[in-house]
Amino acid sequence: MASLLLNVLVFAGSGYMMLVYDSVLPSRSIPTLVGLFVMLVLIYVFQAVFEAIRAEALLGVANGVHDDLFGAVHYATVARPLRAGPDKGDGLQFARDLDAVHTFLAGAGPVALIDLPWVVMFLVVLAALHWWLGLTALAGVMVMAVLALLSNRRTQTASRELAMITGQRSAATLSEIRFAESAFAMGMQDRLVARTSGWESQFIAAQSALARTVSRLGGASRTFRMLLQSIILTVGALLVIDDKASGGVILASSVLSGRALAPVDSAIANWKGLVAARSGWSRIVQAITTFRRPPERQVTLDRPRGELALRDLWIAPPGTQRFTVQGVSLSLQPGQALAVIGPSAAGKTTLVRGILGIWKPQRGEVRLDGATPDQWDAEALGSAFGYVPQTVDLIDGTVGQNIARFDPAATSDGVMAAARAASLHEAILALPDGYDTQVSAGGSELSAGQRQRVGLARALYGNPHLLILDEANSNLDAVGDAALNRAVMDMRQRGGIVIMITHRPATLGPISHVAVMQNGRLVDFGERDAVMQRTLPANETTAAPPAAGHLAKEAAR
């Protein structure tokens, strides 16, 4: 409605000109001129109000679209590398697409598109003044339409290329930032800068090509629009000379033609944003369709507290068809702890990622208490899991928040209980602000061992039923190893299940079972001492039983 009124009110300026030239000037009536001017001012006031209403409405639409899509787009951004493999860019393309859509909707682009249909109305009015004026304006609109189509064709390809290069350029820069310490230590900075500058050159070239296309076509559009106004003015003058139109028609037709072409000109000027928003929208639709958040469960299962069973599990890393876990089957009862051992690239980490649901099995299934993981909501099931990956990442916040998994309902007692379970409480109290000590995303304020123990405390928060440790002792000293062993024993005593990937026999003390993996297959599984007897070389078997017996005694204390 606001757009209808705005486009109708545009005729006020042209009508005022015609009345002044055709009525006021011949009659020399000052009261008529004043009355017309007052009405014109009132119309322009109404026009300003309607412009504000329309702008506010479009901004509301832009913000509403952003709010409605943000959750789904963010989920797709996080879920994509887990399901489809690593992105060649920095992984933020969907977020940039949402920003492009929001920027376009909140800008002048939608106004131009909304006003485009009203071009027909202005052409009809011009034709009503005289058919030559309407025909001239129609020819001008057709030329502008050709310029718009040409702009679309040239900018679409350039926009796609720029989006791809932007992601790869950002990924290269982020990689260089993460590698900054090693690069400085090993004299690699100049070489990495030279490597990244290649992406920078491609980015500048792509951006320049797109900007050049938009500026040239936009300039041509604006120039032709001014030329067309002059052409229509000339046509109007010829009609006046031929006594087929009045003097007011000349100026009125020039103004109306400019207004008729304004939406087309504005659309071409905002074509870059339109193309970016359209391409972004198509990627967003595809992303939220492909990586859709699972619907909430109508029936909520109890927290798992029983058996963990793997049945003929086959897993390939996302984006590949190469199985790194092949046909693994085993089961663990509450109170048991499993050590997964084997050479590098045997599929150990892939196995635990499949158990946690980080990577989806292509064949087979994981069952907890007889149910598959997808029968729980992800957030509910995740609270029953504890996970310490090979590299512990912290999130920008306090130590306490990181331990509490940023749970807004976390209690101080729960946070401190997790820290004590990881034997970290006293170490945290020694920090400058204790549990409120701020840490950055990389956790550089803490040592590698401290970060790993914070990761262990985070994994133990909320008393999980399943604790998975992937080389969780790689940066631990003797005190940390002892804390890790105590945490495993505590889990077993309260009926939890522990799975530990390790290369260090010293960590097998609290372990009840051992699984041996080679080339993605489970080659041995059973109670710890029996498996270790079969696994150790013949010349080490004589020393193995005493060590194992001693470890068992230590674990039982």
Residue 37: pLDDT band (50, 70, 90) is confident
Which one, of 535, 508, 511, 510, lies nearest residue 523 by Cα? 535
479: tokens are 């005190």
Give the pLDDT confidence score for residue 197 in this predicted structure: 74
Q: Where are the beta strands (DSSP E) in 316-362?
A: 325-332, 337-341
Per-residue pLDDT at 416 exceeds 90: yes
Give the pLDDT confidence score for residue 104 in this predicted structure: 86
Q: Which domains does the chain have, with CATH numbers?
A: 1-44 (no CATH), 72-290 (1.20.1560.10), 306-384+502-557 (3.40.50.300)
The 3 state secondary structure assigned to 467-493 is EEEECCCCCCCHHHHHHHHHHHHHHHH
Per-residue pLDDT at 543 exceeds 60: no
Give the pLDDT confidence score for residue 355 in this predicted structure: 93
Which one, of 183, 192, 190, 253, lies nearest residue 18 by Cα? 253
Tell me the CB-side half-sphere exposure of residue 115, using CA atoms within 13 A: 22
Give the pLDDT confidence score for residue 545 in this predicted structure: 38
Q: What is the pLDDT of residues 82-94, one digit of tens each?
A: 777 776 666 788 8
| 498 or 14: which leads in pLDDT | 498
Q: What is the pLDDT of residues 281-321, one digit of tens each?
A: 888 998 888 888 888 778 888 899 999 999 999 999 888 88
Per-residue pLDDT at 10 exceeds 90: no
Average pLDDT (438-452) is 82
| 271 or 416: which leads in pLDDT | 416
Per-residue pLDDT at 247 exceeds 70: no
Burial class (CB in 10 A: 0-12, 13-18, 19+), 411: exposed
Residues written for the chain:
557
Q: What is the pLDDT of residues 93-130, one digit of tens each?
A: 888 889 889 888 888 778 777 777 777 777 787 787 77
What is d(CA 5, CA 27) in angstroms, rounded to the nearest whole number? 31
Average pLDDT (137-150) is 79
Give the pLDDT confidence score for residue 345 in this predicted structure: 87
CB 429 within 8 A of CB 453: no
Per-residue pLDDT at 3 exceeds 60: no
**CA dist list (Å): 335 to 43, 48, 364, 488, 511:** 81, 73, 25, 10, 10
Least confident of 277-281, 424-428, 496-500: 277-281
Give the pLDDT confidence score for residue 1 in this predicted structure: 58
| 18 or 446: which leads in pLDDT | 446
Give the pLDDT confidence score for residue 2 in this predicted structure: 55
Least confident of 47-56, 144-153, 226-235, 329-338: 144-153
Average pLDDT (163-174) is 76
Average pLDDT (329-342) is 93
Residue 354: pLDDT band (50, 70, 90) is very high
Percent of the chain, pLDDT > 70?
89
Task: Name residue, tokens 């400058």.
Answer: 432
Per-residue pLDDT at 478 exceeds 50: yes
485: tokens are 């062993």
Residue 14: pLDDT band (50, 70, 90) is low
Residue 551: pLDDT band (50, 70, 90) is very low
Give the pLDDT confidence score for residue 552 in this predicted structure: 39
Average pLDDT (169-186) is 72
DSSP at 296: P
471: tokens are 């080389």
User: Does pTM top 0.85 for this prediction?
Assistant: no
- DSSP three-state, residue 513: strand
303: tokens are 């927290």
Give the pLDDT confidence score for residue 544 in this predicted structure: 41
Give the pLDDT confidence score for residue 118 in this predicted structure: 73
Residue 538: pLDDT band (50, 70, 90) is very low
Give the pLDDT confidence score for residue 542 in this predicted structure: 34
Q: What is the mean pLDDT of the chain?
A: 81
